[in-house]
């Protein structure tokens, strides 16, 4: 929350506008008990305009394939399409779509029962899993799970379904006999992808974001390991310096038994000026090797990191991973580079085994490593996501999210054999064009990053603080901000220098981030149209009827109060709702000095961020110093410049946070 004190940063007209807004709001909020608060209403997904014909195209007409499974015999390819909210069945012989099933909102993941008769599809925006008969393609039942489910798998017996809930940072365990969730395990931060080990004894969960930690420390991500026999977390494997771990592939024992997990290495502790020299972001594989468990101790894991980038070109945004049944080849999609890398696993293993232990860490920082084990770079469609290999090892299939196609790789020649058209519309709307640009790293110098690299999951913040452009090298470290629901919250950047998204995504992006020619005027407008379409998902902290709990009601009264607990009048500019007005996304859209600047900042006043969905995007403050909401007031507001909070006790702060969770 950014409750603000008066500041010289507010210039003439802005101050008048702000005071006029305060006066208008005060007329509505006559007293704390008279406040009529209504929760924010999520905007419906808008129709979009075809940039050529001008006709309207509903967003849901696009398919956007994101996840796949093959039937046990390899005959049927099951494809999850998040935008059309469908699951498709493709006949791999004819390479045509033969069945479709409608599922929940924003489906993201898919699992197949051990007998091959049942499909399970996670519906991220419905908080459910659809159970589908694989033969008839009829929905059998809908299973409630946690908040925003993505990855899922059954256990080896097909009795328990494990579901990774991104927003809840946990894993739901569902009894498939009763269809009820019976247990929930704590994961890392933003768990997305999940895999059952080949021997069925473990479930592996890759967490998209790093653990919440001080901004001046390199990130550490987690691979969560679950013991399926006891249904408990058996290990939390640290993957240092990495974020955005995605799909998990396991090599057979004959090929080493390694886990391969695509990841991104942010160099966010370096100044951004280094990007034109390369090395600001790197992309690679976490190679996780289970060691032999001691008789009296837990399973141990050894983590190595290798880069998939080349010296003069980068393969941005690793996403999907798969291995052929014999373990000879691994395939890794680069969703920002529109490429799949074909990895010779024997050469990868040779590199790892013949690198002395003292030099293993060097592999994570060597851009010449990929030349030792990458056999091919295959160009595929736009924004490749998931990849699967056929049971006989003959073919591999890559889902191209922004093309509504599937690329087919002939693994005998390791070349593209054909492309399956899934039947999406031929017209490309302005919003869809912008979405393609958002996920495309080719506009950046040497292909190092796309917009989605720092804003994964279609606009989420990566949770890191970055040293961006600044008059003094290494100063002005700022926390990355989410893109969800930012339409109508200008100006942009923490220093408020960009009056609109056209400025933010046009010359600024070209000059300071991509170090390139950037986007054309039309491309900028398309990109802005897409970003404006990113809506906040349903808030699970708010009841479906929008009724507040007792704690949320008490917190609301504190948020909208105009007097301290002992009855003293709080100056208007020191009230929560002044800077975080409910009339404008809970932001005043001005710069304010609330006493949070540090010696490393060249400015003292910062843009007031909106509070909608604030609980889902730690850390907080302009530099990410506050690791949780309570820290904002208990650690970084000693003089009540960031709102009057010194009179609140622990219980009252908890109530305030409970209210903020509903926004």
Q: Give the strand pairing for 180-186 and 329-334.
A: unpaired
- Residue 272: per-residue pLDDT: 67
Q: What are the Cα distances from residue 148, in Å, to 40, 106, 419, 437? A: 19, 9, 31, 25
Round the CA-based radius of gyration of the chain to a whole number and report it: 25
Give the count of beta carbons closer than 10 Å to the beta carbon of residue 631: 16
Distance CA 398, CA 420 (A): 10
Mean pLDDT per 10-residue section of the chain, whose length is 663 residues: 40 46 43 38 39 43 96 98 97 97 96 98 97 97 97 98 96 98 97 97 97 91 97 96 96 95 90 66 93 64 94 94 98 98 97 88 89 97 98 97 98 97 94 96 92 88 80 79 89 90 85 81 94 88 92 96 95 92 90 92 92 90 93 93 94 96 94
Distance CA 601, CA 597 (A): 6
Give the count of beta carbons closer than 10 Å to the beta carbon of residue 584: 13
Give the count of beta carbons closer than 10 Å to the beta carbon of residue 379: 11
CB 171 within 8 A of CB 162: yes
Burial class (CB in 10 A: 0-12, 13-18, 19+), 156: middle
Dig out the tokens for 53 from the structure.
């014909």
- Residue 216: per-residue pLDDT: 85
- The β-bridge partners of 121 are 110, 130
- Residue 390: per-residue pLDDT: 98
Q: Rounded to the nearest 5°, which phi and psi values hold at 118?
A: -135, 140
Dig out the tokens for 242 from the structure.
């990495």
Distance CA 644, CA 174 (A): 45
Distance CA 603, CA 643 (A): 20
Distance CA 1, CA 626 (A): 11
Dig out the tokens for 297 from the structure.
């101790």
CB 308 within 8 A of CB 332: yes
Q: For 237-253, what is the HEC assignment? A: EEEECCECCCCCEECCH
Tell me the whole-structure pTM to 2 decimals: 0.90
- Residue 511: per-residue pLDDT: 74
Give the count of beta carbons closer than 10 Å to the beta carbon of residue 479: 23
CB 97 within 8 A of CB 422: yes
> Could you give all domains of the chain from N- to C-terminal order, each with its CATH number?
12-42+546-660 (1.10.760), 47-53+432-532 (1.10.760.10)
Q: For 127-145, what is the HEC assignment? A: CEEEEEECCCCCEEEEEEC
């Amino acid at each position: 929350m950014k409750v603000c004190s008066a500041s010289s940063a507010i210039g003439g007209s802005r101050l008048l506008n702000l005071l006029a807004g305060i006066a208008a709001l005060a007329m509505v909020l006559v007293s704390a008990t008279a406040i009529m608060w209504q929760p924010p209403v999520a905007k419906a997904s808008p129709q979009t305009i075809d940039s050529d014909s001008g006709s309207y195209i509903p967003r849901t007409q696009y398919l956007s394939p994101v996840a796949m499974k093959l039937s046990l015999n390899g005959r049927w390819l099951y494809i999850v399409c998040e935008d059309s909210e469908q699951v498709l069945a493709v006949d791999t012989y004819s390479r045509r779509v033969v069945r479709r099933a409608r599922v929940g909102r924003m489906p993201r993941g898919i699992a197949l029962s051990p007998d091959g008769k049942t499909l399970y599809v996670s519906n991220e925006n419905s908080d459910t899993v659809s159970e589908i008969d694989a033969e008839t393609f009829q929905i059998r039942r809908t299973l409630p799970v946690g908040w925003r489910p993505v990855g899922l798998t059954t256990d080896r017996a097909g009795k328990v379904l494990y579901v990774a809930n991104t927003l809840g940072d946990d894993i739901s365990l569902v009894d498939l006999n009763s269809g009820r969730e019976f247990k929930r395990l704590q994961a890392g931060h933003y768990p997305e992808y999940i895999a059952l080990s080949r021997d069925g004894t473990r479930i592996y969960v890759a967490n998209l974001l790093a653990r919440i930690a001080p901004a001046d420390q390199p990130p550490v991500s987690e691979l969560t390991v679950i013991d399926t026999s006891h249904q408990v977390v058996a290990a939390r494997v640290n993957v240092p310096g990495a974020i955005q771990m995605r799909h998990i592939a396991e090599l057979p024992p004959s090929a080493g038994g390694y886990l391969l997990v695509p990841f991104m290495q942010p160099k966010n502790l370096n100044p951004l000026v280094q990007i034109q020299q390369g090395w600001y972001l790197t992309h690679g594989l976490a190679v996780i090797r289970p060691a032999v468990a001691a008789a009296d101790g837990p399973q141990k894991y050894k983590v190595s990191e290798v880069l998939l980038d080349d010296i003069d070109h980068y393969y941005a945004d690793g996403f999907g991973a798969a291995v052929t049944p014999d373990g000879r080849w691994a395939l890794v999609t680069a969703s920002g580079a529109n490429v799949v890398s074909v990895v010779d696993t024997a050469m990868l293993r040779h590199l790892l085994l013949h690198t002395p232990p003292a030099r293993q860490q060097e592999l994570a920082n060597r851009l010449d490593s990929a030349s030792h084990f990458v056999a091919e770079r295959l160009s595929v469609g736009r924004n490749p996501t998931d990849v699967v290999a056929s049971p006989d090892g003959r073919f591999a299939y890559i889902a191209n999210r922004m093309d509504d196609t599937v690329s087919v790789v002939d693994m005998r020649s390791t070349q593209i054999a054909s492309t399956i058209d899934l039947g999406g519309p031929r017209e490309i709307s302005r919003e869809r064009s912008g979405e393609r640009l958002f996920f495309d790293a080719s506009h950046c110098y040497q292909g190092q990053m796309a917009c989605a690299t720092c804003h994964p999951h279609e606009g989420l913040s990566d949770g890191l603080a970055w040293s961006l452009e600044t008059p003094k090298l290494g100063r002005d470290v700022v926390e990355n901000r989410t893109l969800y629901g930012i339409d109508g919250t200008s100006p942009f950047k923490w220093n408020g220098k960009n009056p609109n998204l056209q400025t933010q995504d046009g010359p600024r992006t070209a000059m300071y981030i991509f170090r390139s020619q950037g986007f054309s005027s039309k491309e900028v407008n398309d990109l802005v149209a897409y970003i404006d379409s990113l809506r906040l998902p349903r808030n699970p902290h708010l009841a479906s009827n929008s009724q507040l709990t007792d704690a949320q009601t008490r917190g609301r009264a504190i948020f909208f109060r105009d007097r301290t607990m002992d009855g003293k009048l709080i100056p208007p500019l020191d009230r929560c709702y002044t800077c975080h007005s409910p009339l404008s996304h809970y932001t005043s859209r001005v710069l304010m000095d609330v006493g949070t600047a540090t010696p490393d900042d060249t400015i003292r006043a910062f843009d007031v961020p909106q509070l909608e969905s604030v609980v889902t995007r730690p850390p907080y403050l302009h530099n990410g110093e506050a690791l949780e909401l309570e820290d904002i007031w208990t650690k970084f507001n000693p003089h009540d410049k960031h709102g009057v909070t010194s009179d609140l006790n622990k219980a009252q702060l908890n109530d305030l946070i409970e209210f903020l969770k509903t926004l």
